[in-house]
């Protein structure tokens, strides 16, 4: 609403027209580390597989994505896992990519997280994460908040790009004394890559799980090589 002298003038801003709706499969890879009791700090890789409902507008693309599977890499005999049924209960992530020149895009920052509420319904606070380790195994009950930012290059029927994630995690409780030695709070920044590819409308986590995942995020090495090639092409 704009005030002009003593007159109030209402200015109505029309919402951006919806141009198309699609379904995308996504794969994200991020790299970070964890402190494991009696083992120490280990580097790890996390692969996240999602299904996104996509809405295309004139100047941006909006994704509402549901996690299908999260794989944590094994390191020094330590395995970390989250039950697939728990994944279905995690809040969806809504990501908006602003479209830029030359087929590029940049996301607004987005947040996904939960607190001490029993999100997975197992009677324990937060979300349960299972730890299988030679010297110290059991379950951790965690709260988590992740803020992400991404840049992307549009592809035919999808996009590929880089992501930066700020993870703030709190261990609320543990199933045994050994795991209670975990750091109560984690505050770290992770980096990685991602890719999305259009799939059939109505595709779900279950329907895509029966075959090889439709898209694979580039490795960090491939992403760096692509950037060098792009910089060289711009100079030429």
The per-residue pLDDT for 222 is 52
The per-residue pLDDT for 32 is 84
Give the start-to-end residue ranges of the domains of the chain. Answer: 20-217
Please state the length of the chain. Answer: 236
Q: Model-level pTM?
A: 0.83
The per-residue pLDDT for 4 is 44
> Exposed (0-12), middle (13-18) or buried (19+): which is 5, by Cβ within 10 Å?
exposed
Q: Which of 94, 228, 88, 217 is nearest to 159 (CA)?
A: 217
Q: One digit per residue, pLDDT tens: the chain, 236 residues?
A: 444 454 555 555 556 789 999 999 999 999 987 665 555 666 789 999 999 999 999 999 999 999 999 998 887 788 889 988 888 888 899 999 999 999 999 999 999 999 999 999 999 999 999 989 887 889 999 999 999 999 999 999 999 999 999 999 998 999 988 887 766 778 889 999 999 999 999 999 999 998 899 999 998 665 555 554 455 445 55
Distances (CA, A) of 204 to 67, 69, 79, 116, 180: 10, 12, 27, 29, 37
b/e 201-234 (16+ beta carbons within 10 angstroms → b): eeeebeebeeeeebbebbebeebeeeeeeeeeee
The per-residue pLDDT for 7 is 53
């Amino acid at each position: 609403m704009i005030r002009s002298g003593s007159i109030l003038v209402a200015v109505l801003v029309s919402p951006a027209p919806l141009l198309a709706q699609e379904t995308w499969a996504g794969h994200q890879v991020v790299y970070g580390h964890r402190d494991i009791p009696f083992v120490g700090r280990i580097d790890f890789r996390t692969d996240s597989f999602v299904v996104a409902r996509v809405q295309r507008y004139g100047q941006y693309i909006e994704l509402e994505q549901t996690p299908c599977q999260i794989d944590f890499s094994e390191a020094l005999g330590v395995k970390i896992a989250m039950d697939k049924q728990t994944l279905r209960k995690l809040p969806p992530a809504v990501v908006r990519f602003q479209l830029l020149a030359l087929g590029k895009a940049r996301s607004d920052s987005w947040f996904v997280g939960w607190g001490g509420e029993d999100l997975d319904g197992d009677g324990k606070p937060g979300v349960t994460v299972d730890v299988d380790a030679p010297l110290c195994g059991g379950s951790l009950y965690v709260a988590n908040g992740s803020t992400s930012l991404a840049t992307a290059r549009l592809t035919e029927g999808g996009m590929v790009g880089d992501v930066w994630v700020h993870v703030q995690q709190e261990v609320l409780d543990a199933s045994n004394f050994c795991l209670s030695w975990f750091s109560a709070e984690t505050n770290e920044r992770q980096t990685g890559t991602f890719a999305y590819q259009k799939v059939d409308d109505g595709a779900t986590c279950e329907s895509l799980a029966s075959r090889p995942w439709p898209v694979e995020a580039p490795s960090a090495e491939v992403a760096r090589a692509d950037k060098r090639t792009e910089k060289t092409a711009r100079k030429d």
